[in-house]
């Protein structure tokens, strides 16, 4: 990854520093606009008239927080645009990269007769790891029962603060059934690409890849080379995008922390802690064991090599936006063959959501506890199954799991508008669960690579 260095400082180090600095300055800016700003006004009023004669309206005005116009302007005209430009540069490569890499990967695997075997290994790995993640989350939330600690006052405050957004989200009906599978087959592939319908795009890419294996090699090579050229062009654009990654990450994190601060974590601290601990257990215990046993690689070496992926996933909250970095690092740092990386990782970015499945399971049971809905063992088995299924269908974008989460809540009798309680902390949880989602994809690619007889780069020699 020599192209990701600049003046001897690795890119992942720059991104990490930008993330920490952005969070620190954002929290500072958030607290700077708090009611403490009333003190100069109050002192000025008290200096010109006695406290007894101080009009109530003047006192109320003095205690009112100063309008945070400077923060609004900074976010609106500087931070938000910079962050969005960075995200858009990554997103613009996603559809061409997924289509080209997946088509070529399927064509190459199919030509070697490995497609069916690798496809089965990949899908089974996805389902098993997501199921383990949900079970871990449910075990923790049933043991600690954080929903019982939420008071009516806290619930009313959060519902009032985020009720409008929750109503807007629940106002968009989400169905999951036979029609969902029908829609995976697009009538118009170009429309699917324009709308970033990833399952449909993946289906078309799989069809194209399989079709290429049925054409005479002399004729199919022209299409394969074209797709490989598209892939290489996207990688160059990704390299350009990653040059501004520290600035983009700084802007994204500053925007989130400056707007929300940390005060919303207090009433939901135990719920947030359970989700974060569950994510940590799945990532650093379960996936580490799988890396050590199935990929036969030291977990410490593995996590050192994929730190750029983790930082990018955390800061963008998007599996799709992280996909270019995921493919690049997996091939260059771990030694995953391009054919396997091009097949497993694009599929994983849409279908393998360890963090999302865990989050959905914990959230459903947590909200059931808050609203006094008693979930039987059968209900919780339904939660496990639906969390895995809906995680497969969740969009790989920030907040992409919430519409499907609403559907699961309705299935077990929890008011869908209850998501208002967790919307305030969803962004930080989204950042963490996306990190687990993406690392789950990389462990799958490492496992498939090793199981197919390829060697991984199991030492630190390739790390910048």
3-state SS, 135-186, equals HHHHHHHHHHCHHHHCCHHHHHHHHHHHHHHHHHHHCCCCCCCHHHHHCCCC
For residues 92 and 135, membership in a common domain is answered with yes
pLDDT score recorded for residue 362: 93
Burial class (CB in 10 A: 0-12, 13-18, 19+), 217: exposed
Closest to 278 in 3D by CA, of 135, 95, 129: 135
113 lies in the same domain as 236: yes
Same domain flag for 150 and 114: yes
Given a cut of 60, whether residue 60 has pLDDT beyond it is: no
Q: How do residues 9-54 score in pLDDT, each as one tens digit?
A: 777 788 788 888 988 888 888 777 765 444 454 445 444 444 444 4
Share of the chain above pLDDT 70, in %: 79
pLDDT single digits (tens) 87-120: 888 778 878 888 888 888 888 887 666 778 898 9
Indicate whether 50 and 121 sit together in one domain. no
Same domain, 55 and 172: no
CA pair distance 438, 453, nearest whole angstrom: 23
Distance CA 133, CA 140 (A): 11
Q: Which residue has the higher pLDDT, 330 or 238?
A: 330
In this predicted structure, the answer to whether residue 351 has a pLDDT above a threshold of 60 is yes
At residue 263, the pLDDT reads: 59
61 and 169 fall within a common domain:
no
What is the per-residue DSSP string for 266-309?
Answer: TTTHHHHHHHHHHHHHIIIIIHHHHHHHTS---HHHHHHHTHHH
Q: Are residues 288 and 404 in the same domain?
A: yes
5 DSSP β-pair partners: 10
Six-digit token string for 406: 């609403």
Alpha-carbon distance of 5 to 464, in angstroms, equals 8
SS3 10: strand
Across the range 448-455, mean pLDDT stands at 92
Would you list the DSSP string of 47-102?
A: HHS-STT--HHHHHHHHSPPP-HHHHHHIIIIIHHHHHHHHHHHHHHHHHHHHHHH
Residue-wise DSSP of 340-396: HHHHHHHHHHHH--HHHHHHHHHHHHHHHHHTT----HHHHHHHHHHHHHHHHHS-S
* Boundary (domain end) residue, out of 16, 44, 67: 67
Domain that holds residue 62: 34-67
Query: What's the structural domain count of the chain?
Result: 2
pLDDT recorded at residue 304: 93
Region 346-369: mean pLDDT is 89
Contact 177, 314 (CB under 8 A): no
230-274 pLDDT, tens digit per residue, is 888 888 887 788 788 889 888 888 887 776 666 556 667 889 899
Asked if residue 42 and residue 148 are part of one domain, the reply reads no
| Mean pLDDT for all residues in the chain | 80
Q: How far apart are CA 175 and CA 192, in angstroms?
A: 19
Give the tens place of pLDDT for each residue, 302-316: 999 999 899 888 888
Q: Torsions phi, psi of 148, nearest 5?
A: -70, -20
Q: Is the same domain home to 50 and 112?
A: no
What pTM did the predictor assign?
0.75
Hey, CA dihedral for 130, 256, 84, 82, is it positive or negative? negative
What is the Cα–Cα distance from 293 to 141, expressed in whole angstroms?
29
Same domain, 29 and 39: no
Query: At 300, which CATH number?
Result: 1.10.3860.10
Q: Would you call 334 helix, strand, or coil by DSSP?
A: helix
* Predicted confidence band of residue 198 (pLDDT cuts 50, 70, 90): confident
What span, in angstroms and rounded, lies between the C-alpha atoms of 317 and 200? 22
Which of the pair, 294 or 428, is modelled with greater confidence?
A: 294
Residues 42 and 145 in one domain: no
Quick one: 319 and 403 in the same domain? yes
């Amino acid at each position: 990854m020599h192209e990701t260095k600049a003046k001897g400082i690795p890119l992942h180090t720059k991104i990490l520093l930008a993330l920490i600095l952005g969070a620190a300055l954002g929290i500072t800016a958030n607290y700077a606009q708090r009611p403490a700003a009333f003190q100069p006004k109050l002192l000025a009023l008290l200096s010109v008239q006695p406290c007894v004669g101080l009009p109530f309206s003047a006192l109320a005005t003095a205690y009112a927080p100063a309008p945070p116009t400077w923060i609004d302007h900074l976010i609106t005209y500087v931070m938000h645009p910079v962050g969005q430009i960075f995200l858009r540069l990554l997103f613009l490569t996603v559809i061409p990269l997924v289509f080209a890499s997946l088509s070529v990967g399927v064509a190459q695997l199919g030509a070697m007769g490995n497609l069916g075997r690798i496809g089965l290994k990949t899908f089974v790995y996805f389902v098993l790891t997501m199921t383990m993640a949900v079970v871990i989350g449910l075990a923790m939330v049933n043991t600690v029962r954080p929903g019982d600690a939420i008071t009516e006052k806290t619930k009313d405050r959060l519902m009032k603060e985020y009720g409008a957004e929750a109503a807007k989200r629940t106002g968009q009906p989400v169905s999951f059934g036979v029609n969902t599978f029908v829609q995976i087959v697009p009538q118009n592939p170009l429309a699917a690409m324009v709308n970033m319908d990833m399952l449909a795009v993946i289906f078309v890419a799989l069809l194209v890849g399989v079709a290429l294996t049925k054409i005479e090699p002399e004729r199919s090579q022209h299409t394969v080379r074209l797709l490989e050229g598209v892939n290489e062009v996207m990688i160059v654009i990704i390299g350009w995008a990653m040059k501004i990654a520290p600035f983009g990450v700084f802007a994204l994190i500053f925007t989130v922390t400056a707007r929300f601060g940390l005060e919303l974590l207090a009433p939901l601290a135990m719920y947030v802690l359970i989700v974060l601990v569950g994510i940590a257990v799945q990532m650093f215990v379960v996936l580490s064991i799988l890396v050590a046993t199935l990929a036969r690689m030291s977990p410490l070496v593995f996590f050192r090599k994929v730190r750029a992926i983790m930082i990018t996933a955390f800061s963008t909250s998007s599996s799709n936006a992280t996909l270019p970095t995921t493919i690049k690092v997996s091939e260059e740092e771990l030694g995953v063959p391009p054919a396997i990386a091009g097949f497993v990782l694009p599929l994983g970015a849409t279908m393998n959501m360890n963090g999302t499945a865990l989050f959905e399971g914990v959230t459903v049971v947590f909200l059931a506890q808050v609203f006094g809905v008693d979930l039987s063992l059968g209900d919780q088995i339904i939660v496990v199954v639906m969390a895995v299924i809906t995680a497969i269908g969740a969009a790989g974008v920030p907040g992409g799991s919430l519409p499907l989460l609403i559907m699961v809540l309705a299935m077990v009798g929890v008011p869908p508008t209850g998501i208002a309680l967790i919307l305030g902390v969803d962004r930080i949880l989204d950042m963490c669960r996306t990190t687990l989602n993406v690392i789950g994809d990389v462990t799958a690619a490492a496992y498939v690579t090793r199981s197919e007889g390829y060697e991984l780069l199991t030492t630190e020699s390739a790390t910048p």
